[in-house]
Amino acid sequence: MRLPVEERPARRIAVLAAVLTGALGLLGLRLWQLQVLQGAYYDQLAQGNRLRINRLPAPRGLILDRRGIPLVTNRPSFSVAVLPMALGDRRRVLEALSRLLGVPEVEILQKLRGAPPFALVRIQRDVGIRVLTTLEEWRTDLRGVAVIADPLRSYPHGTLAAHVLGYLGEISGPELERLRPWGYEMGDLIGKAGVERQYDRLLRGEDGEQVVEVDAAGRPLRVLRQQEGRPGNTVVLTLDLRLQEAAERALGARPGAVVAMDPRTGEILAMASWPSYDPNLFAVGIPPETWRRIAGDRRTPLLNRALATAYEPGSVFKVVTGLAALRTRAADAGSTFLCPGSLTLGGRVFRDLRAHGRVTFRSGVAQSCNVMFWQLGLRVGPIQLARMARSLGFGERTGVDLPGEVEGIVPTPEYKRQVFGEPWYPGDTLNMAIGQGFTLVTPLQVARMMAAVANGGEVLQPRLLRSVLSPEGRVLYTSKPVVLRRLSLPPEVWTAIREGLAAVVEEGTGRAAAVEGIRVAGKTGSAETSRGRPHAWFAGYAPAEDPRLVVVVLVEHGARGGIAAAPIARQVIQAWKHLYAPTEAAAGRP
């Protein structure tokens, strides 16, 4: 049916009105979205065209040795960064920046991917004067590129104590997710290893902020507001730089570790590990090819051999066997043993290095007589051996304030059944009694054991943190000794084992550790390993009558402890004597 002619204009007007109403509604909805829902975003964008808010990184806290000598400091540097929202011709700018910095464009794009548009993204740190000059000349063509003053980490002693101090690296995605609540941001450098990682939140300061007005080309016109950051706290370590130098010099280029510890407090005076690395390489973000070279080095220079890997202990474990025998009265200081040079068990002959003849407990320790310790092991049994080992802290982390520590292994019949599905044989007990077989320990664990022998049974938590100072120098925290447990053994037990250990250096296998003017006690070890020549050990303390220093030396595949490890210990004890003996004589202790 056709509408009357007079009704058509009215209907058209109604349709037109509906269309206009709908259009106005959509326009209003869009305005509401822009002004209400996204108002803050566009306001920030508009401000961002006029203002630059630069984060002023706070200097990281210093790390000092126990005498106040700087181990880690900061130095000024400049970084080149990009503000994503201010990039002009993005493709052209990034191509030019890639050529200038020598950084592949794909690497720059990776850094910018997912970055907030208002945040400066560091592309290259510690740039030289040539780059700064070029950037200034081409500033108008490089909109969105900025130069930031950055305090840069500096390790003035190079590789010295590198495994203790650690190094920095750019925060990763998972780390950022975990640490964002504490103010960490993309592009931050954080501790990746050592003390730098352990005490990152103490060392990290509070960043400042600078608000700068810029012109249309992004050139700064004036600073509208600036709030300075607060430097990080100073961390004072128990480490003694001069003793650390002596330990590293004595170890030389031999793969291994040296630990020097105060048996009265658990303070670590030196911790050396070789091969090492230069943490300065990581200070500005390590180049990929350098990282591949270090990470792929078969000598594993990043590995802290003092605590992050476990070794067969060899004869230094005989201290455990001796204490277990004395505690269970399987032997005493007056016991004697016949060593014909071998022991026959179940039709199998276990051979010693030589026939020692008749030995006392003292001379058996001094000569490291395997036959004596095999007999003691059989008398005590694996359960008592494992019990004494665990009482001295083996098979668990020491709790030292460094990351990456391993537990080691204290085997038992149950351990062998679970891991290898085999029963425990008497031959396993013989191996365990002399530190072979399944037993694995770290040099730091051995140092703690020897400290317990030296101090009369206190199993201490080794520690590196001595105190924390505010940026103004105020003492915020001072650490104290932590005694994890006490071995309650009769005095005659301690006397017997100590006399044996002193005899090791005076007349036994550890004579190369003797130091004139100071009585040294200790134990050598040559630990058989399936990976090559035996590992060489020496673990001792001095002075024997009033122990103030524990020294443990491990030389990987060094063969004989008395030849490869004991002379290194002697050099460390000599250095300690030179550094501390006069002071201790006058004041009582370091």
Task: Give start and end residues of each alpha helix (H) in 337-463.
Answer: 361-366, 370-380, 382-391, 413-420, 426-433, 443-455
User: Residues with Cβ < 8 Å from 23, sequence gap 6 or more?
Assistant: none
Distance CA 448, CA 385 (A): 17
Distance CA 225, CA 71 (A): 35
What Å distances lie between residue 64 and 25, 240, 465, CA to CA?
Answer: 68, 9, 10
Preceding peptide of 301 cis, ω within 30°: no
User: Which pair of tokens denotes residue 424?
Assistant: 């425990």
The sign one gets for the Cα dihedral 480, 469, 286, 159 is: negative
| Helix, strand or coil, per DSSP, at residue 84 | helix
Lookup result for tokens 């004139």: 516
- Note if 315 is an active site residue: yes
Active-site option among 273, 315, 335, 391: 315
DSSP string, 447-490: HHHHHHHHHTSEEE--B-EEEEE-TTS-EEEE----EEEE----
Residue 583: DSSP 8-state? H
Distance CA 450, CA 263 (A): 8
Interhelix angle for 426-433 vs 370-380, to 10°? 120
Distance CA 145, CA 89 (A): 12
Q: Are 538 and 520 in contact (CB under 8 A)?
A: no
What Å distances lie between residue 509 and 11, 58, 343, 561, 563, CA to CA?
Answer: 115, 54, 21, 8, 9
Which residues are identified as catalytic?
A: 315
